[in-house]
Chains A and B, each alone.
Chain A
Amino acid sequence: MSELDGVFYKEIVEQGLREFPNECCGVIAAEKGVPVKVFPMKNADASPVTYRLDGREQLKVFDEMDEQGWELWAIYHSHTHSEAYPSETDRRLAFYPEARYMLLSLTDREDPVFRSFLIRDGEVEEEELVIT
Chain B
Amino acid sequence: MAVTVKLPTILRKHAGGEAKVGADGATLRDVLVDLEGKYPGITKNVISEDGGLHRFINVYVNDEDVRYLGSLETEVSEGDTVSILPAVAGGQR
- Point out residues on A near B: beta carbons under 8 Å: 23, 25, 27, 45, 47, 49-53, 55-56, 58-59, 62, 72, 75, 77, 79-82, 86-87, 89-90, 92-98, 101
Contacts and interface: CB of A to CB of B under 8 A. Distances in A.
B92 A79 contact: yes
Contact of A95 (B83, B87, B91): B87
28 contacts: A23-B92, A49-B91, A50-B89, A50-B90, A52-B88, A52-B89, A53-B89, A55-B58, A55-B85, A58-B58, A72-B9, A75-B88, A77-B91, A82-B92, A87-B90, A87-B91, A87-B93, A89-B90, A89-B93, A90-B90, A93-B56, A95-B10, A95-B56, A95-B87, A96-B9, A96-B86, A96-B88, A98-B9
Contacts, number: 81
Contacts of A58: 58, 85, 87-88
B70 interface: no
B56 to A, nearest CB: 6
Interface of B: 8-10, 56, 58, 60, 63, 65, 83, 85-93
SS of B interface (majority)? mixed
Contact of B91 (A27, A47, A55, A97): A47
A33 to B, nearest CB: 15
Contacts of B86: 95-96
Contact of A90 (B58, B85, B91): B91
Contacts of A89: 89-93
A25 B86 CA distance: 16
